Chains A and B, each alone.
Chain A
Amino acid sequence: AQSVTQLDSHVSVSEGTPVLLRCNYSSSYSPSLFWYVQHPNKGLQLLLKYTSAATLVKGINGFEAEFKKSETSFHLTKPSAHMSDAAEYFCVVSPYGQNFVFGPGTRLSVLP
């Protein structure tokens, strides 16, 4: 069975400081992994995805994530937070492209 754990339900950072949102997964297969962002009262938008190519994946808005198979992790980072980054972030695992399993989400707050 596949599952996704997002270790923090809420992360708060100051504007201009680094962001780290943690994600661990379990999967019987070599999965595809995704990070989606959801701004308040909006739909979900794809930030980045890992599909067995480079382990360091760059996404939109300065975000990137590193796939570490030995740690079964896919943490999302950004060097410098912006106020517009405040949103809910979901880590998603897709073991074979038909099913997508979502983590519970991490709410990111950015303080001025």
Chain B
Amino acid sequence: NAGVTQTPKFRVLKTGQSMTLLCAQDMNHEYMYWYRQDPGMGLRLIHYSVGEGTTAKGEVPDGYNVSRLKKQNFLLGLESAAPSQTSVYFCASSSIQGSQETQYFGPGTRLLVL
């Protein structure tokens, strides 16, 4: 199993450009998440999904959109990138099995917006 993978690993954008980050998991997990990590702030939840075809806003959703058309994929879109979106983005997935939920993280995508 590859676990959780993220594409791309690193990207540089100019202000106003758009891009999509792809997250894929092969563990058949129901839940998927997108976080951003900024220095001194831990991880903040952008959007999450509790199943195929469903998405919900997290703590910092503005400027981002997501889609979960397939259970194994969770896409994060930036329609018009801003320098404030320079960050490291982590995708995670989890599955509820009784009370044994655990998140599994991808390796991260470093995004620089100039």
Flag whether A61 is at the interface (Cβ < 8 A): no
Which chain A residues lie closer than 8 Å to B41 at the CB level?
Answer: 104
**How long is the Cα–Cα vector from A67 to B102 in the complex, in angstroms?**
17
Shortest beta-carbon distance from A48 to chain B in Å = 10
Shortest beta-carbon distance from B68 to chain A in Å = 14
| A52 B33 Cβ-Cβ under 8 A | no
- Asked if A100 meets B107 with Cβ closer than 8 Å, knowing A32-B101, A44-B90, A90-B43, the reply is no
The answer, among B42, B90, B92, B99, for a CB contact under 8 Å with A103, is B42
Q: Mark B44-62, 1 if CB is under 8 A from A, else 0.
A: 1100101000000010000
Shortest beta-carbon distance from A55 to chain B in Å = 14
- Asked if A104 meets B42 with Cβ closer than 8 Å, knowing A97-B101, A98-B48, the reply is yes
Q: Most chain-A CB neighbours within 10 Å: which of B31, B40, B105?
A: B105
| B103 A90 Cβ-Cβ under 8 A | no
| A49 B102 Cβ-Cβ under 8 A | yes
Shortest beta-carbon distance from A112 to chain B in Å = 26
Which chain A residues lie closer than 8 Å to B48 at the CB level?
Answer: 98-99
| A102 B42 Cβ-Cβ under 8 A | yes
Which chain A residues lie closer than 8 Å to B106 at the CB level?
Answer: 43
Shortest beta-carbon distance from A67 to chain B in Å = 13
Q: Mark A79-111, 1 if CB is under 8 A from B, else 0.
A: 000000000001010100111111111000000
Interface residues of A in 2-25 (CB under 8 A from B): 9
The answer, among A43, A46, A97, A105, for a CB contact under 8 Å with B42, is A105
Q: Mark B63-74, 1 if CB is under 8 A from A, else 0.
A: 000000000000
Interchain residue pairs with CB less than 8 A apart (16): A9-B40, A34-B103, A43-B105, A43-B106, A43-B107, A44-B103, A45-B105, A51-B99, A52-B99, A99-B45, A100-B33, A100-B92, A100-B94, A102-B35, A102-B42, A104-B41
